[in-house]
Amino acid sequence: MFCRKFIYASMVMLLAGCAGIPQDRGFSDVQQKLAAHGGPALATPGSEDADRHRILVETWLKQPLDVDLALRIALVRNPRIRSQYAALGIAQADLYDAARLANPTLTASVLDSNAADSRPQIGLGLAQNFANILLLRPRKRIASGEVERAKLLTAQAVLVLAADVQTAYYQYIGAEQVAQMRKIAARAADISARLATRFYQAGNINRQELQVENAAATEAAIVATLASAQALIARTELNRMMGLDAAESDWNAQIEIPLPVAQEDDPEQLLSLASQQRMDLLAARREVILLEDALGLARSYRYLGSFELGVEYERESDGSRLLGPTLALQLPIFNQGDGSVLRALARLERSRADASQLGINISNAVALASQKVALQRELIQRYQQDLIPQREEVVQRMQELQLYMIIGQFELLQAKQAEYDAYQGYIERLRDYWLARVELAREVGAALPSAAQQQQPSLDVDSLTRPKGGEHHDHGTMHGTTHGSMDGMSEQNAGSHDPAHQAHGAHQSNAARPATDEHGAQQ
């Protein structure tokens, strides 16, 4: 009778504690958390969807790549997503085990007697650890909290991956635009060197002046080659971040970068947003709560060791049978749980310190990232409002002076080189601005509120270097983008005394820049 009641009670508690593993391992909850934080949509990285994902990626790679498309590819192909999916599975498995009773222990024995005509003594026993039953609910509660932590950390890892992909994208676009600009500058320097050769042959300059122009052309060519190499490195890194192998690197990208948003975010608002929504910080705080729970359990059950109840059956050698309950209780004589309590307390203290340090790090990182965005925006405005108009006006004035032969062609070409340097600096500041915004969003742990503003126009090298005012100019194709041939300057017309040729390339100072209001923000 006792045996039946014991088994029945165990089965009832076992069924009450059962909880199945979600089919998607909780990935739908991760998707909801990402959506609440303005994160990207996430496809479940199950093996059954591999063929569908492969077809999707093949279709996407045929389209011009922009930052959103690069992110969509990465969220399907980057192995880091599958790694986080596995981490969710581990947490769910721990919860599954924590919600179940330990298996009962079955014992059996067969003992021979040395008495004459005696039969072997047979013993059977079944025991269940009741300490495991007492701790079932708190253990399940803690394991459930760990699953929620795993979901938060998985969502945070997705946001970090998104930031890494965006960083790689803007690094590549910026490197490609710089490479295009350096090729234009190298071509202008080459024209200057060839023109110098003609002047030297005509006796108009000495050999030292010729070598100065040749060295400048060689240096410009070297810089252009290095810039192309940096663009190749950045392209490879973007390919890697998207989870593509070398055989899948034949894609085309839109080589243009957006202008700054109309209005930046309030740093105080971002600090509050990071404190409330940064998911690794929320996970750290949840860990503190779980360890507080674990410390309470350690203190409450410090004297509870192994506690087994069971039933035992024996058949004696004389044929008689014995059946009855058994009890095995571990006595807390030598170990009274002090070590377990101290271990739980130390883990709690470490978790509190880690959560506090993470909060401090996030606060300072958000403040610094906000300042970087503001600094890059200020530098962009200086280029837009001051340096580029000044460089363009210098070129325009020098074109007029060269038209009347007050200065030579070399001085004009040097001014053009300085103008190209200003354009390159403008491109690099735009790149650094968007990199700073990506870093700021990474530190906040959510999409920036300003990301919802209307999309700003984009800048490419073609629009930046195209001659202003509608002058006639030749075109060359470079990386799929059409550029003016040094604003109409070539070796032939550079050496001509025809004013109609020498006037080519004049710029209007503000044509390449967006309009700004009195505060310097783009309209």
Give me the mean pLDDT over the 41-55 stretch: 69
Same domain for 221 and 271, yes or no, is no
Q: What is the pLDDT of residue 311?
A: 85
Same domain for 168 and 291, yes or no, is no
**Separation in Å, CA 247 to CA 65, 240, 243, 244, 312:** 17, 11, 12, 8, 67
pLDDT at 478 over 50: no
Place of tokens 């894609």: 251
**Structural domain ending residue among the three candidates 221, 255, 289:** 255
Same domain for 241 and 384, yes or no, is no
Task: Label residue 275 by pLDDT band (50, 70, 90).
Answer: very high
Model-wide pTM > 0.95: no
Q: What is the pLDDT of residue 442?
A: 94
Query: Greater confidence, 64 or 506?
Result: 64
Query: Greater confidence, 489 or 229?
Result: 229
Task: Label residue 468 by pLDDT band (50, 70, 90).
Answer: low
Burial of 246 (0-12, 13-18, 19+ CB in 10 A): exposed
Domain span at residue 135?
A: 1-105+130-255
Let me know if residue 292 belongs to a domain: yes
Question: Model confidence over 280-297: pLDDT tens digits?
Answer: 999 999 999 999 999 998
Q: What span, in angstroms and rounded, lies between the C-alpha atoms of 92 and 76?
A: 22
Query: Greater confidence, 46 or 5?
Result: 46
Let me know if residue 115 belongs to a domain: no
Let me know if residue 110 belongs to a domain: no
CA proximity to 39, closest of 366, 450, 363, 448: 448
Q: What is the pLDDT of residue 408?
A: 75
Place of tokens 């080519």: 504
> Residue 189 corresponds to which amino acid?
A
Same domain for 499 and 431, yes or no, is yes
> Mean pLDDT in the chain?
81
Q: What is the pLDDT of residue 45?
A: 62
Number of domains the chain contains: 2
Q: Tokens in use for 86?
A: 């596995």
- Distance of alpha carbon 364 from its chain centroid, rounded? 19
Q: What is the pLDDT of residue 474?
A: 35
Output the 3-class SS for 302-323: CCCCCEEEEEEEEECCCCCEEE
Q: How many CB atoms lie within 10 A of CB 244?
A: 19
Q: For 168-172, 186-190, 301-305, 341-345, which range has the lowest pLDDT when averaged over its residues?
A: 301-305
Radius of gyration over alpha carbons of the chain, in Å?
A: 37
Give me the mean pLDDT over the 255-260 stretch: 92
Share of the chain above pLDDT 90, in %: 41
Give me the mean pLDDT over the 265-292 stretch: 94
Give me the mean pLDDT over the 228-245 stretch: 95
Q: What is the pLDDT of residue 66?
A: 92
Let me know if residue 38 belongs to a domain: yes
Give me the mean pLDDT over the 226-245 stretch: 95
Same domain for 91 and 227, yes or no, is yes
Q: What is the pLDDT of residue 43?
A: 67
When mean pLDDT is compared over 31-35, 425-429, 495-499, the highest value belongs to 425-429
Q: What is the pLDDT of residue 298?
A: 87
Same domain for 444 and 407, yes or no, is yes
Burial of 103 (0-12, 13-18, 19+ CB in 10 A): exposed
Burial of 477 (0-12, 13-18, 19+ CB in 10 A): exposed
**Structural domain ending residue among the three candidates 255, 286, 315:** 255
Q: What is the pLDDT of residue 78?
A: 87
Give me the mean pLDDT over the 439-447 stretch: 94
**Structural domain ending residue among the three candidates 255, 281, 313:** 255
Task: Label residue 496 by pLDDT band (50, 70, 90).
Answer: very low
Q: What is the pLDDT of residue 94?
A: 83
Question: Model confidence over 142-165: pLDDT tens digits?
Answer: 888 888 888 898 889 889 999 999
Q: For 271-275, 347-351, 395-399, which range has the lowest pLDDT when averaged over its residues?
A: 395-399
Same domain for 223 and 237, yes or no, is yes
Q: What is the pLDDT of residue 117?
A: 67
Let me know if residue 210 belongs to a domain: yes
Same domain for 290 and 219, yes or no, is no
Torsion sign across C-alpha atoms 207, 213, 216, 217: negative
Question: Model confidence over 85-122: pLDDT tens digits?
Answer: 888 888 888 888 888 887 888 888 887 776 666 778 88
Q: What is the pLDDT of residue 293?
A: 92
Give me the mean pLDDT over the 26-41 stretch: 80
Let me know if residue 491 belongs to a domain: yes
CA proximity to 315, closest of 83, 59, 113, 519: 113
Same domain for 272 and 249, yes or no, is no
Same domain for 173 and 294, yes or no, is no
Q: What is the pLDDT of residue 315?
A: 78
CATH number at residue 495: 1.20.1600.10
Let me know if residue 113 belongs to a domain: no
Let me know if residue 39 belongs to a domain: yes
pLDDT at 362 over 80: yes
Task: Label residue 20 by pLDDT band (50, 70, 90).
Answer: low
Query: What are the b/e assignments for 292-316, b being 16+ CB within 10 Å?
Result: ebbbebbeeebeebebbbbbbebbb
Query: Greater confidence, 356 or 327?
Result: 356
Same domain for 83 and 163, yes or no, is yes
Q: For 58-67, 301-310, 412-421, which range has the lowest pLDDT when averaged over its residues?
A: 301-310
- What secondary structure does DSSP assign to 348-378, as a single string? HHHHHHHHHHHHHHHHHHHHHHHHHHHHHHH
Same domain for 435 and 492, yes or no, is yes
